[in-house]
Amino acid sequence: MAYPNQNPLMDFIARIPPVTRNLLFGMVAVYLAQQINWNFVIKNFALWPVGTPFLRPWQLITYAFVHANFTHLLFNAFAIWMFGTPLEQYWGSRRYATYVLACIIGAAVTHLLLTAWLGSGLPIPTIGISGAVYGLLLAFGMMWPEQRILLLIPPVPIKAKYFVMIYALLVLWSSFSGYGSAGIAHFAHLGGMLTGFLMIQYWRGRPPFRF
């Protein structure tokens, strides 16, 4: 006779779809590795700017699993769970994994190219999965534009399509008005959203992929 799992935490984890769950596990695992040897993880797995001796090809992916502190990890993990779970259930794990990976790489490439072109100042590495989070946010808004999202500040509901448009404008503005401020990789956010938009348009057979 089978008995239900009596551990609420394990039940909660089991209900998270596999790709989203593995993303979260990977982020936590790398964060724990950072506590053991911060310098090694940053030197080898963060995304270093073009022209620095530490830049490596695999950093186009691994930077996303590195986070500055627990708060940075917590907010990104919450967003991955909140927006990634319904998208993986809707698309299926294979398409969802392809989308997330493309957003991670697209965010990294956009950040590297634009900062190299405009000049990035000090050789500061980029870390965090925020580029993919912005891609997931965009996808959520495109899949369910009428779905209401409850903001934290101010605590009012807003339709997903408006939420995404506001964030996209803020990211675009911040990218070109102070892309290096406060250590925030605005170009990576912009790249994640742009990559996500192009992928969804491609899957839908819409412009710029339909002529």
Contact 163, 152 (CB under 8 A): no
Burial (0-12, 13-18, 19+ Cβ within 10 Å), 132: buried
Question: What pTM does this model have?
Answer: 0.87
**pLDDT of amino acid 71:** 87
SS3 letters for the chain? CCCCCCCHHHHHHHHCCHHHHHHHHHHHHHHHHHHHCHHHHHHHHCECCCCCCCCCCCHHHHHHHCCCCHHHHHHHHHHHHHHHHHHHHHHCHHHHHHHHHHHHHHHHHHHHHHHHHHCCCCCCCECCCHHHHHHHHHHHHHHCCCCEEECCCCCCEEEHHHHHHHHHHHHHHHHHHHCCHHHCCHHHHHHHHHHHHHHHHHHHCCCCCCC
* Per-residue confidence band for 210, with pLDDT thresholds at 50, 70 and 90: low
Maximum average pLDDT range among 49-53, 71-75, 87-91, 119-123 = 87-91
* Per-residue confidence band for 5, with pLDDT thresholds at 50, 70 and 90: low
**pLDDT of amino acid 182:** 40
**Between 191 and 149, whose confidence is greater?**
191
Domain segments of the chain as ranges = 18-204
Maximum average pLDDT range among 60-74, 120-134, 155-169 = 60-74
**pLDDT of amino acid 18:** 97
* Per-residue confidence band for 181, with pLDDT thresholds at 50, 70 and 90: very low
Tokens of 116: 């190299």
* Mean pLDDT rounded to a whole number for the chain: 86
Fold of 18-204: Rhomboid-like fold (1.20.1540)
